Amino acid sequence: MSPAEIMEEINASIDFDQVLAPYDIRASKAHAAMLGQQGIISKDDARKIAAGLDRVLAEIEKGELTYSRALEDVHMNVESRLKELIGEPAARLHTARSRNDQVATDFRLYVRTWIDGADAALAALQLVLARKAEAHSALIMPGFTHLQPAQPVTFGHHLLAYVEMLARDRGRLGDARSRLNECPLGAAALAGTSFPIDRQSTAEALDFDRPTANSLDAVSDRDFALETLAAAAIAAMHLSRLADEIVVWMTPQFGFVRLSDRFTTGSSIMPQKRNPDAAELVRAKLGRIAGAFQALLVVMKGLPLAYAKDMQEDKELTFDALASLKLAIAAMTGMVSDLEPRAEAMRAAAGAGYSTATDLADWLVRVLGLPFRAAHHVTGRIVAAAEARNVTLERLPLAAMQAVEPRITGDVFSVLSVENSVKSRRSYGGTAPQNVGKMARAWIKRLEKQRERD
C-alpha cells in the first residue's frame, strides 16, 4: 500500500462507527434546532437541515446509504449526504460544534440505549430463573464448596442465587447510566464556543439530565464506556459461572440436567454426543468482554487532556463487547427456559458425601448442649464410623453413634435425611422450600410489575 492508502486504512472508522448513524442524526437535529432558536442560523435553514436529516435516516434504515471510507467516519458521511440533498444549508450544521463533542454525544446515546436494552434483557432472564426456581423450590440437590458435596440445598435456591447476581448487574448498569447521562454537545473541540448556544435545550432534547460542566472533560471522558464495560464484564462473569455449571451438570458423571437439541449440538464423528455448545460459547464470551474493558483502560491511561486520536479505539471494542453480552444474555435465557432437571440424579447426589453431617453437629449442640467445636469432633468420629460400614448417616445404627456419644437418642434420625435437612434451613435467605417458594414468588411479582411499567 502507498502511504496515502496506509493512512486511510488506519484513520478511517466508518467500517464500525456507522452504527452510530441514528444517534448522530438525532443529536444533529437537536443541535440544528437549537441553532435556529438562538438565531445562530436561520429558522428556515434549521427546518431544511432537520428535513434533510430525516431523509438521510430513512436511507440508512432502508440500507440505501453508501458509506465512503474517504470521508473517514459516520459524521462526515452523514454531513456529506445531507449536503447532496439540501445544498448550502448543510454547511451551517457544524456551527458551534466539533467532531469531538459530536462523537462524545453520539457514543453516550448509543451506550445509554444499550444499557436500557440490557436491563430489560437481564430482567427477562431473572424472570425465567425465578419461575423455574418456583417450580423446583423443593427439588433437592447437593450444595457444593470446592466442588465437593457440602450440604443439601434445593434447585430453586440455587437458581435464585443467580437472580440475585443479575439484580446487582442491573444495579451497576443503572448506576453507569445515571453517571453517563450528561450531554457533551456544545463543548466543541475542547474549550466551548463563542456562539450564544443553549446547551440546556440540547441536553433536554436528547433526554440528558444536564449538560456536562467542563468542556475539557466533556470531550476527553470515556468513563461512561469504561464503567459500562466493567459492569458488562461482571455480568458476563455471572453468566459464565451459570454456563459452566450447566456444562458440568450435563456430564454423565453428574447427569443433573438435560438440554434439548435447540441448545446442544452433535459430534461430526460420535453420534451419541450431545454437546452443550451454547453454554460453552456463553462461558467464552467473558474473554472478549473483559478484554474490551482492559483494552480501553490501557488506551485511556496515559492520554493528556483533551482529545487524542487514540480514543477512536474506544468504539469498535465497546460495540463488540456489548453485542457479545447481549447475545450471551439471550442464549442463557433460552437455555434456562429449555433446561430440565433430572430429579432422581440430583436427589441421589444430595445424599452423598455425608452432606447432613452439619445437621448432626447442630443436633448435638441443640439437644445435648455440646459446644459446637466438641459437636464437630463427635460428628467427625460418627462419619468415620459410617464410612467404615459404607453406609449413609441415616442408615448408621443408633448403637454405633452411641459408641461415640452415649447420650445420642433415636431422635437424631429426624435430622439426618436430606429432606429434613433442607426443611430445617428456615433462616432468612436459607434453602428451606417454603423460603425458596416465597422468595421466587416475590421476585416474579416484582419483575412482572416492572415489565408492565416498561
Per-residue pLDDT reduced to its tens digit, 388-423: 999 989 899 999 999 999 999 999 999 999 999 999
In single-letter form, the type of residue at position 30 comes to: A
pLDDT at residue 271 in the model: 61
Does residue 97 contact residue 198 with C-beta atoms inside 8 Å?
no
How far apart (Å, rounded) are the C-alpha atoms in residues 273 and 264? 9
Q: Determine the 3-state secondary structure of 182 from DSSP.
A: strand
Does residue 226 contact residue 109 with C-beta atoms inside 8 Å?
no
How far apart (Å, rounded) are the C-alpha atoms in residues 224 and 208? 14
Identify the bridge partners of residue 145 per DSSP, sorted by sequence position. 148
Q: Is the pLDDT of residue 332 over 80?
A: yes
pLDDT at residue 93 in the model: 97
Spatial CB neighbours of 26, under 8 Å, sequence gap ≥ 6: 109, 206
Tell me whether the omega of the peptide bond preceding residue 232 falls within 30 degrees of 0, making it cis.
no
Mean confidence (pLDDT) of the chain = 95
Neighbours of 70 (CB within 10 A): 11
Q: Tens of pLDDT along 126-182?
A: 999 999 999 999 999 999 999 998 899 999 999 999 999 999 999 999 999 999 999
Cα dist from 427 to 350, 423, 430, 431, whole Å = 20, 10, 5, 8
The DSSP code for 213 is S
Which grid coordinates belong to 21? Answer: 448513524
Q: Determine the 3-state secondary structure of 298 from DSSP.
A: helix
pLDDT at residue 375 in the model: 95
∠ CA 192-193-197, rounded to 5°: 105
77-83: long-range contacts, CB 8 A cutoff, minimum separation 24: 77/14, 77/18, 77/21, 78/21, 78/24, 78/25, 78/28, 78/53, 81/56, 82/49, 82/52, 82/53, 82/56
Closest CA to 45 of 33, 56, 57: 33
Please identify which residue in the block is written with the cell numbers 421466587: 440
CA-based Rg of the chain, rounded to a whole angstrom?
Answer: 30
Does residue 245 contact residue 165 with C-beta atoms inside 8 Å?
no
Q: How far is CA 190 from the centre of its chain?
A: 33
Closest CA to 250 of 278, 280, 276, 283: 276
Tell me the mean pLDDT in the region 15-41: 97
Q: Determine the 3-state secondary structure of 253 from DSSP.
A: coil
Q: Which residues are catalytic?
A: 146, 267
Which grid coordinates belong to 61? Answer: 434504515
The DSSP code for 275 is B
Angle between helix 21-37 and helix 74-86 axes, rounded to 10 deg: 60
Lowest mean pLDDT among 119-123, 264-268, 403-407: 264-268
pLDDT at residue 270 in the model: 73
pLDDT at residue 231 in the model: 98
Q: Tens of pLDDT along 196-244?
A: 999 999 999 999 999 999 999 999 999 999 999 999 999 999 999 999 9
In single-letter form, the type of residue at position 91 comes to: A
pLDDT at residue 362 in the model: 93
